[in-house]
Amino acid sequence: MQKLSIRGGTPLSGEVRVAGAKNAALPILAAALLTAAPVRVRNLPRLNDVRTMVRLLERMGVKAEAGAHEVALDARMVAEPFAPYDLVKTMRASILALGPLVARFGEARVSLPGGCAIGERPVDLHIKGLTAMGADISIESGYIHATARRLKGARIFMDTVTVTGTENLMMAACLARGTTVLENAAREPEVADLARCLIAMGARIAGHGSDVITVEGVDALFGVDHVVMPDRIEAGTFLAAAAATRGTVVLTDAPVGALDAVIEKLRAAGAEVDVGSDTVRLAMKGRPRAVGLRTAPHPGFPTDMQAQFIAMNAVAEGTALVTETIFENRFMHVQELRRLGAHIDIEGNTAVVHGVPALAGANVMATDLRASASLVIAGLVAEGETVIDRIYHLDRGYERIEERLGQLGARIERVS
Ligand code: EPU
């Protein structure tokens, strides 16, 4: 199994380009199921999750021609509207096939994703929404089986903000008869990127980026050539790594409008942050100051950046309270960070991070994608060698992480 070896203690320095956003790419790839016309998706990050989504589409009969950072998809013929367990269990985002399949083909069989390392993660709101749009849904042997003659528009209130739930229902509503109103919709930039792609395909969507999205159904969608937005979580991870190592980095192709909550906290930690039209420069001159935060749906502080900020706070001056409100079990990194010498207590859904002056390298284990990112940051700070095991989690969401951090002067290598 591959590992990362990091020799820490060097401030990050240099320039790195932000890759395309995984969490925008995945729903946009699923959206290809909504049309018989060709769909080209560009600025795709080269990640295992992206490959899994393309494989899932191919299993259904979609033709895919992949380039380095793009794919051409043709979903004219879909042999089987089916997402099998063996793929869904490796990637929960496979649930994004459900809405498009039932909307275009009147039928879908998608494996239930089940829980995962960061929490229970039910999909009840996806199912409730599609039921409100007229789908007949049953759960059989671990599969969601949905059928519908043609979906019809509905007013749907989601009592919890759900990103993929909003995306699934927004995609389904594009081909429904009549108007769908999604209330308490997710405002995440990735939802808005999907909406822009769907609109270019001929969908009639308004309100994306706000918490009420209105979709007027159409009979068919066209093809599209879409460039995926840059990844705000990858960008935030590089910035947090630079701040923790007291470095200076410039991000190019950065999604500057989507980073407000993260940049505000980095400034509170003492970083100088200059934002250009698509660049962000961060310089951290001394030891970071502890910054408290509470995760929340966008535009609040993203749960996908919580672990990385715990790593930065682990070496900050002072004590920070970090509260996780989205997922119930998203502190798996804490026990691994302790192995590096971090002083962190967990009280319910709050991590009390007492900053220490230095960390020391150790062997640690990645448990989920963002937890892995926090271990990388801590390893970059720690004196001596840190070896991170199970980095397949990291490869799901960060493209060639060792090369790109290496470009910033990090001493990091992949070992088997
Ligand atoms: N929830 C429900 N019922 C539902 C759906 C969600 O109760 O039907 C709850 C969840 O249990 C959770 C909360 O709602 O407590 C929010 O979950 P959400 O549905 O928004 O999460 P998701 O759509 O499954 C996406 C990202 C995650 C990111 C979350 C929150 C994708 C592919 N995944 O997941 O990304 O953490 O939104 O922002 O977009 C990651 O990239 O590392 C990652 C985990």
Residue 303 Cβ < 6 Å to ligand 1: yes
**Residues classed as catalytic:** 116
401: CB partners within 8 A, 6+ apart = 4, 376, 394, 395, 412
Number of H helices, E strands in the chain: 14, 24
CA of 43 to the centre of ligand 1 (A): 23
Residue 377 Cβ < 6 Å to ligand 1: no
> What residue's CA is closest to ligand 1, atom 29?
163
Instruction: Express each pLDDT in 275-307 by its tens digit.
Output: 999 999 999 999 999 999 999 999 999 999 999
Residue 369 Cβ < 6 Å to ligand 1: yes
pLDDT of residue 416: 87
pLDDT of residue 372: 96
CB atoms closer than 10 angstroms to residue 219: 8
CA of 363 to the centre of ligand 1 (A): 30
Take residue 83 and report the two structure tokens written for it. 């997402």
CB atoms closer than 10 angstroms to residue 146: 26
272: CB partners within 8 A, 6+ apart = 282, 283, 284, 285
Which ligand 1 atom minimizes the distance to the CA of 93? 32
Residue 23 Cβ < 6 Å to ligand 1: yes
Residue 326 Cβ < 6 Å to ligand 1: yes
Residue 121 Cβ < 6 Å to ligand 1: yes
Residue 138 Cβ < 6 Å to ligand 1: no
> What residue's CA is closest to ligand 1, atom 10?
121
CA of 25 to the centre of ligand 1 (A): 15
pLDDT of residue 117: 77
CA of 163 to the centre of ligand 1 (A): 6
Listed as ranges, residues in the chain with pLDDT below 50 are none
pLDDT of residue 114: 67
CA of 35 to the centre of ligand 1 (A): 26
Name the pairing type of β-strands 71-74 and 155-157. unpaired
CB atoms closer than 10 angstroms to residue 99: 34
CA of 188 to the centre of ligand 1 (A): 11
> What residue's CA is closest to ligand 1, atom 37?
163
Mutating to test ligand 1, I would choose from 23, 28, 305 the residue with most ligand atoms within 8 A of its C-beta, which is 23
Instruction: Express each pLDDT in 358-406 by its tens digit.
Output: 999 999 999 999 999 999 999 999 999 999 999 999 999 999 999 999 9
CA of 369 to the centre of ligand 1 (A): 13
Residue 376 Cβ < 6 Å to ligand 1: no
Mutating to test ligand 1, I would choose from 53, 96, 160, 393 the residue with most ligand atoms within 8 A of its C-beta, which is 160
pLDDT of residue 329: 86
pTM to 2 decimals?
A: 0.98
Which ligand 1 atom minimizes the distance to the CA of 164? 23
Judge contact between 191 and 167, C-beta under 8 A: yes
pLDDT of residue 40: 98
Q: CA 41, CA 226: separation in Å to the nearest integer?
A: 5
Residue 295 Cβ < 6 Å to ligand 1: no
Residue 109 Cβ < 6 Å to ligand 1: no
pLDDT of residue 64: 98
Place of tokens 């039932």: 102
pLDDT of residue 115: 63
pLDDT of residue 118: 76
CA of 93 to the centre of ligand 1 (A): 9
- The string of DSSP codes covering 351-385 is EEEE--S--B--EEE--SHHHHHHHHHHHHHSBSE
Which ligand 1 atom minimizes the distance to the CA of 190? 39
Take residue 211 and report the two structure tokens written for it. 């918490």
Residue 372 Cβ < 6 Å to ligand 1: no
